Amino acid sequence: MRSKRQVQNADSQSENRTTCALHPTSNVKMLNALFEEIFATTFRQQAERSMNRNKTDLSRNGHEKAIAHADSFLPGSAGERARRIPPYVEPLDYYIRIRPYFPNDVVEVTKEKNMTFDGISTFIFRAKVGRMNVTLHSLLLNYTSVKVMDANGLTLIESANFTFNEELNHIIIHLDFSLIIGNIYVIQFVYVGGIHNYLDTGLYYSSYIDVAGKQHFMLATHLQPARARWVFPCLDEPAYKAVFHLTLIFPRGLIALANTMERTPVEIKTWGNWDVIQFPPSLKMSTYIVAFAVGPYVKKEVTNEDGTLIRIWGWPGQEEYLEWAAEISAKCFHVMRQYTNFPYPYTKSDQLGMPEFVAGAMENYGLIIYKYQYIIFNRK
């Protein structure tokens, strides 16, 4: 015999099951609310750790700059609409040149420069509203020059004034004239940025230790959801798509990868112990999809039935463990093309396994970056 309390509990559980079955939307709403609460708490903690680390790193390297509060990233902190940049301009192209400084065997890096990068970014846009300022996203970048030009390269302002909205991660470039609607303008930024811990992302460093016990460093990017602003000033929202032209300057002998395939023959000009690669322009895409990497990478490659080059990258010693991923990926690309009847838009797909990566993988156009455990496979 069941007690009266047991019967009541059983009836209550039965009623709850019936209610859930009749109202599945309630379950979804409850789970969504729970997820949002967990996400907000976790993201707040991660953001606070990130900001504290970056304050320490920038201070150590002598690059003092006001750091935005972690709260500015969280839902509801400033209001979703308030955080977004209105469509006053239409982004067309970004020309980005990055020269990173990190431990390597070829170029001597000073303590002051270590784990930083020099950046030159040129933003080309069309004015949609006649305003006397331009607002972009920027965080953890130390600017030395901001120049404004017209579409023909004629200098309009040699050294523009700019201010920051630290809460919203905005840099505001102040003009002494009003933009003419429909005209194209160019803003060139010269700046210094930081190479971060992989948990912070943006442009980050990782490393592996070889059989002799020596540590080797490598770099990669992870710009999702809003870390492109850590690498170059931009309209760092997915709706603002543009074409990206990337140039990487890196220590001689290392491998540089990006969204697009290196030109053939690879256009490398040697500057002392530095190599330079200018990558072809990307497709029109969002800022968080921009990707590049520099390091002592090795690869296995396969060209599939559609003529797409699949290259699987790791670090020295992993060569035989990359073959399986290359074979399977080549088949997957072919099957997906047949199934969707949609051609892959690039000529290659680079897939890079990093020793450390904050996510399982990231779907950057042309350069997918993984946590290495998800890409290497020992057939034996």
Helices 4-22 and 24-60, axial angle in degrees (round to 10): 80
Q: Please write the tens of the pLDDT for every residue from 236-251.
A: 999 999 999 999 999 9
Q: How far apart are CA 194 and CA 53, in angstroms?
A: 11
Residue 9, pLDDT above cutoff 70:
no
Question: What kind of fold does domain 297-380 have according to CATH?
Answer: Zincin-like (3.30.2010)
As its CATH architecture, domain 86-292 has Sandwich (2.60)
Kindly give the pairing relationship between strand 184-194 and strand 142-150.
antiparallel
Q: In this structure, what DSSP letter does residue 114 have?
A: T
Kindly give the pairing relationship between strand 243-251 and strand 255-258.
unpaired
**Angle, CA of 247, 371 and 233, to the nearest 5°:** 35
Q: Please write the tens of the pLDDT for every residue from 145-203.
A: 999 999 999 999 999 999 999 999 999 999 999 999 999 999 999 999 999 999 999 99
Unique residue bearing structure tokens 């709403």: 29
Q: How far apart are CA 331 and CA 83, in angstroms?
A: 42
Q: Please write the tens of the pLDDT for every residue from 105-131.
A: 999 999 999 999 999 999 999 999 999
86-292 and 297-380, same CATH topology: no
Residue 231, pLDDT above cutoff 50:
yes
Q: What are the extents of the domains in the chain?
A: 86-292, 297-380
Global pTM?
Answer: 0.79
Show the tokens assigned to 304.
Answer: 């599939």
Q: What residue type is 173 in one-letter code?
A: I
Kindly give the pairing relationship between strand 215-222 and strand 202-209.
antiparallel
Q: Please write the tens of the pLDDT for every residue from 13-64.
A: 444 433 333 344 444 455 455 445 544 444 455 545 545 554 444 444 444 4
Q: What residue type is 40 in one-letter code?
A: A
Unique residue bearing structure tokens 């609460």: 37
- Tell which residue, 293, 203, 278, has the closest CA to residue 245: 278
Q: What is the pLDDT of residue 49?
A: 53
Q: How far apart are CA 260 and CA 280, in angstroms?
A: 6
Kindly give the pairing relationship between strand 116-127 and strand 89-101.
antiparallel
Q: What residue type is 303 in one-letter code?
A: T
% of the chain exceeding 70 in pLDDT: 77
Beta strands in 308-358 (DSSP E): 309-314, 348-354
Show the tokens assigned to 225.
Answer: 């959801």
Overall residue count recorded for the chain in this entry: 380
